[in-house]
Structures are given as C-alpha cells and as structure tokens.
Amino acid sequence: MEKEAGPTAAGVRRDDPWCEASAAGWDEADGVGGGAADGAPGPGEPPPGPSAAEIYLEVHRSAAFREVRRRYRRFVMPAALAFLLWYLAYVVAATTAPALMARPVAGAVNVAMVAGLGQFLTTFLLTWAYARHARLRRDRAALDLRWDTQEMTRGAAQPATGGRGR
C-alpha cells in the first residue's frame, strides 16, 4: 500500500479496493440496501447485477485463479515434503543411531548438534525461498486478481450504495 503525502500520510489510499467494499448482504438485511423487500429493484433503479457470491464463484473458476493456485502448490508441496523428510530423518537418526549422532565433528560439536543447527538453517532458508517465490511468481497475479474481483464486486454493489463517497 502506498502512502500519500500530507496530513493523512499514514492513512489508507482512497483507491484501495478494500476500503469501501461492504460485506456481501449487509446492506440488504434491514432494507437500507436500496431494493424492495423481495429483492426486486425499486422504481427507477437498474436491475441488480451478479451477487458477490456469484462473482467470487466466477473468480474461483477462472484460469487466473487456477494459475495462482497451481504456482502455490508447485512450490509448497515439494518444499513441505522435503522439509518433513529432512526432519523425520533427523528424528529417526537421533533415536535409532545414537552412536552416529554422538560422533564428534569438531571439538565438542557432534553430528547431532550440526544436524540440529541444520534444521534451524533449513527453516530460515525455506522461509526466505517461500517469500521470494511468492514475490516473484504469485503476488502480482494474486494482486491483479484481487483488484479485478473488487472492481466486479464494487460494480455489483454500486446501484445499492449510490457509488463512492460513503
């Protein structure tokens, strides 16, 4: 999120799609939403567009959403599997091969200590790799999808709210 200059420098940008989007159905429950009680448009109102639920289902079925999910799974599944196998190998070796784990590497440092520190190092490397992968391969596509979805839901909610400026 970018910051604006001026007295509201720490505030939210006014073109943020999450800023004015109301939750689906909240405006309609008390009759304030603008339509008639039966859900039909009132006199002089345009016919309602797709509901937020229909929009989100459409986005969920879209090729762009499937691509974001595919990119996520192609990184997370192998990385999680590799890390769990590495962790289980450490635990199994520690319980079944104590002589191997007690073998000194350098001074008082033994194989178990090196492998344990390797677990921490692997965790940090995996976190870095995940953040890098998300930034380079998913964030832009997910953000574009978010903006498109919010524009569609804003367009669907526009007749009921009278546009911007609530």
| Per-residue model confidence as pLDDT tens digits over 119-154 | 999 999 999 999 999 999 888 888 888 888 888 888
pLDDT score for 154: 80
Least confident of 36-50, 55-69, 76-90, 143-157: 36-50
Give the pair of three-digit tokens for residue 50.
Answer: 């797709």
Whether the predicted pLDDT of 34 surpasses 50: no
- The domain segmentation of the chain, as residue ranges, is 52-161
- Residue 74's pLDDT band (cuts 50, 70, 90): very high
Least confident of 34-38, 70-74, 130-134: 34-38
pLDDT, mean over the chain: 77
pLDDT score for 145: 87
Whether the predicted pLDDT of 69 surpasses 70: yes
Cα torsion 59, 63, 69, 73 to 10°: value is 160
Contact 155, 49 (CB under 8 A): yes
